[in-house]
Structure formats: structure tokens, C-alpha cells
Structure 1
Amino acid sequence: MTLQEQELAAVFAHLTEEAARDPLDTQALLATLVEGGRRLFDALGAIAYYAPGGGSAVQTAGTDDALRVLAGEAVDWQEGPGYDVRTTGCALIDVDVTIQPTRARWPRWTARVRALGHGRVTALPLPAKDGPAGALVLFGPHSGRLDEKALSLARSFADAAANTLSLQREVTESRVLAGQLEHALSSRVVVEQAKGILAARHDVTLDQAFDRLRRYARSHQRKVQEVAREIIGGRDFPMDP
């Protein structure tokens, strides 16, 4: 195993470790992604953008303060290779930021990048099942352009990182759904218990008890579950037949 392959394995292990943290922290995962990209490909710096599901809220990360600021500004400007890649899903390889076409394409972004001393960038998509979820932007490696082997490795790295982010997102959504289902079940149990109490108290059927409970809650602009909990707690309500 080469030194770069060893480094890649270490970065993947770190990504997996971050993805398994509880509570889940996408920002920490993005920070690991950009630092791993910088180290693996001998880059001068790296930025990551992440907005799964085409959402308008874009999370960003950078390997230093200047790049973190640039990442946020680029989102507001809707400029730069990161913006283009995360909206189109198409990679931009070895882009020269000093030439006129690039300056015309991203005027504010290019001016800031040149002021930071960067001359070339490569931007790779972070794919997801529902379309591009983000981008990884690498700023000119110390050793010059990425060769074919390094570029292939960079693509694999971006794909693996994107998969890790997607898995983390799925876990988060599953936890939210589980919480919602648990809340719904708890509320259902409370209402069923209150129905039983009312049915016995007023000598009515369960359906009639629920109808009275619901009408009372609506007329007093309260939630059915709130009234049900108070009934279970022993409170009696004057409910119309």
C-alpha cells in the first residue's frame, strides 16, 4: 500500500468515525472532508458545500479562515466552481482562475481567490440519490496539476464522502421519523385512555366519548391530547351529550 493509499484509508476511517457520532454532526464531517482532501492531494486548501435534496440552506466548510469566509460569500454570490458543480453535478477539472473567461464567469469569486494567491481549482460533485448534494473544491496542489491517477482517486474520495454524508442524512431522517411515530403513538394511547374513562363516566360508547372529547377541545381551542391528559389525571369536564 502506497503512502497516499494509507492516508486515504486513514481519512475514510475518520469520516466513518465522524458519521457514527451521536449526536450526528454534519459540520464536523464536512471539516474532515476538506482537511482530508487538502492532505490527500497536496492541495493549498479545500472548500466543501453541502445542500442535500436541493435545499436552499447550504452548509460549508474550509481548511482555513479565509476559505471558510469565501465559501459563505460564494453561496450568497451564487458564483464559483462550487456553486456550478453542486447545481449541475458536473465536475470542473483544473480551472485556471487567472484567464479572462474565468474572470468573466465568476467575477467576484475569481477576484477573491486571486487575492488569496490561488491560481487553479478542481471542483468535484458530491452526488446523492436525488441529485447533486454538494461539491468539493480543491485549490491548486503544491506539485502542480492533479495527474490522472490522483484525479481518479479524488473522484473516488468525493463519491465515498458523499455516500457517507447521505448515510448520515438517512440516519438523521430515520431518527426524526421514529420520534414522530413515537409521539403519535403516545398521543394515541393517551386519547384512547381518556375515551375509556369518559365512556365509563358518562355511560356512553367509545365513539360517543371521543366525539364529546373532540367537540370540547375544539370549542375551547385546545388540543385533544391536552384535554385527554387532564382527564387521565383525574380532572372532570362538563361535556355536552
Structure 2
Amino acid sequence: MTNTLTVPPPENEDTDQTALLARLTDEVSGVLESMGELSDYLERVVHAVRRAVDGCDEVGVTILSKDRPHTAAYTTVQTLEIDAVQYALDEGPCLEAARTREEQLVADLCSDDGRWPLFAQASREDGLRSLYAVPLVSGDQCVGALNLYAWATDAFDGFDAALVRVAASRCADAVVAVTALDGMRELAGQLEQAMASRAVIEQAKGVIMAMRGVPEHDAFEILRKTSQDRNVKVRVLAEDVVAGVLRGSAAPGGAGA
């Protein structure tokens, strides 16, 4: 059984919710001109969604290329771990959403409803409690799913659904647009290359976490904001951070990097 979230209409256009929806829409908008821009765009999407949805702990994007799932963007390595379990078992919300084109919502993973029994058992042991997966549909194509995970039960409500659906729609349009230009084979190669380049970003986050005493999400926010301030890509800044440690320089926002 697939649960769905309904969205109550806002009472007036000046509500905080309306402003939040407008801000998220702006963050996930944009026209991609090449496959090379896709990875950075998807990274922007997952972090924007996590900031917008209060109850959400982790966000990832699963892309299906020739029916093979790839995690194209994620907020922290915990997202990767949850996705990896689904891919290994060939069951779970992100795969179900991508394959059926239907939203998958679980309010409490401890309340066994019979879906994905192996994935549910493994994820419960790791503390996952609620999840929400929305298919990435553009026109007649479904290219994957946008996946939200939370450690609390009942983490997502109707307004959260409105936010996620907007992000999923824009994300799907972006993927379909670039694959129309460069093809799905190029997409698969691009995703694998992007995941390889994430290693230096994870190293840089580790440096910032150690030097600043901040959690992983905050470490990425420091990287993201500094990259915007300096007008450089996050990946390039991360390389500078790691190199700066070897030189004895400071982390982003300090004297060096």
C-alpha cells in the first residue's frame, strides 16, 4: 500500500510557507546547458531540500540509467549507506518510486506494512524511522527518485510534500533535458565520474569537522557558502582545503584555504 500526503491550500499568499516554497523553487530552478553542470545542480537540490524540510535528516537523488540505479547526489555518507542497502537488496522506496512512478511514504518503519522487508529490517537497525521517495517524472519519462530520510517517526507532512514535489519536478526536467542532448550513456559515465570526485569533498568536510568541531551537515554548509563567496566550485574549494592542511593553512572562512 502506498501512502500519499495531501497539501492544504495556503490561507493567504503572505504565509511563511508560501515564502519557503518560493525560495526553494528559486534554489532548484535553472537551465543546464551541458552534462557537466548536472552533478553540481543535483548537489544544490539535495541540500536545498534538506534545508527546506524541517523533519528531514538526509536527502539523496537516485538516477536510473539502463535500469541500473546510481546515487547522483547526497547530503552525507549516511544517505549513501541507506541507498546502498536498497541497491544491494534490489528493494526499497527509491527503487519502488522510480519503477512504479508512485510516491512512497513510510511514517514509521517499525510498523511493518510488508513493503521491502529486508530493507526495512536493515534500516530499522540503523535507526531510520520515516522516509519519503518521489519519482522524477518529466513528460513521459521517469529517470529516478528524490529520497528523504529521517530518524524520527512521522517526519513529513502535507506541506513537505508540496516542497518535495516541486524539487522533484524541476530535477526531473533538468535530467531529461541534458540527457536529450548527451544521451543516457553519457549520463552514466558522468555520474560515475562525479561520485569519484566526491572523495575530495568528503575529505574536506572531515577537515572542517575536526578543525571547527561542527557536524557533517554544517561542514558542507561552510564549504558551500565559501564557494559562493569566492565564486569557485565546491569541488575546487575542497581540493584547496585538503591541500591547505598539508601546507598548514586554515579551513574555509579562516585565514587560508
Q: CA deviation at 1:128?
A: 2.8
* Structure 2 partner of 1:154: 164
Among 87, 96, 100, the residue aligned to 1:88: 100
- Selected match of 2:61 from 48, 52, 56: 48
- Asked whether the equivalents of residues 92 and 122 of structure 1 are also in contact (C-alpha less than 8 Å), the reply is yes
Identity %: 21
Structure 2: gaps spanning 5 or more residues: 1-13, 187-257
CA distance in 1, matches of 2:25, 2:177: 14
Q: Size of the alignment, in residue pairs?
A: 170
After TM superposition, the runs of 4+ consecutive aligned structure 1 residues lying more than 4 A away are 1-14, 141-144
Distance 1:46 1:130, change over 3 A: same
1:72 is displaced (CA, Å) by 2.9
Q: Secondary structure at the match of 2:138?
A: coil
Q: Over aligned residue pairs, what C-alpha RMSD do you find?
A: 3.0
CA distance in 2, matches of 1:39, 1:160: 17
- Contact 2:108–2:153 (Cα < 8 Å) also in 1: no
- How many Å separate the matches in 2 of 1:125 and 1:72? 18
With over 3 angstroms needed to count, the CA separation of the structure-2 counterparts of 1:160 and 1:20, relative to structure 1, is closer
Query: For 1:190-224, what per-residue CA distance to the aligned partner results, in whole angstroms no more than 9, with x for missing partners?
Result: xxxxxxxxxxxxxxxxxxxxxxxxxxxxxxxxxxx
Which structure carries more relative contact order (alpha carbon 8 Å, separation 6+)? 2
Pairing partner for 2:124 from 107, 110, 114: 114
Equivalent of residue 127 in structure 1, options 131, 134, 137:
137
Give, as a single letter, the amino acid of the residue that structure 2 aligns with 1:114. R
**CA 1:93–1:23 in 2, change beyond 3 Å: closer, same or farther?**
closer
| Cα offset, 1:76, TM superposition | 2.8
Cα distance in structure 1, aligned partners of 2:46 and 2:138: 18
Unaligned runs of 5+ in 1: 177-241
Aligned with residue 58 of structure 1, among 69, 74, 98: 69
User: Which has the higher Rg, Structure 1 or Structure 2?
Assistant: 1
CA deviations 1:33-56 (Å, max 9, x no partner) are 22222111120112221115xx22
Q: Name 1:37's counterpart in structure 2.
A: 49
Closer/same/farther in 2, CA of residues 93 and 57 from structure 1, 3 Å limit: closer
Offset from partner CA, 1:8-34 (integer Å, 9 cap, x none):
5454444445x5365524333332222
Residue 83 of structure 1 deviates from its aligned partner by 0.9
Give the 3 Å change call, closer, same or farther, for CA 113–159 of structure 1 in structure 2: same
Structure having the higher helix fraction is 1
Measured at CA, do residues 155 and 16 of structure 1 come closer, stay the same or move farther in structure 2, by a change above 3 Å?
Answer: closer
Instruction: Sort the Cα spacing of 1:59 and 1:15 in 2 relative to 1 into closer, same or farther, 3 A.
Output: farther
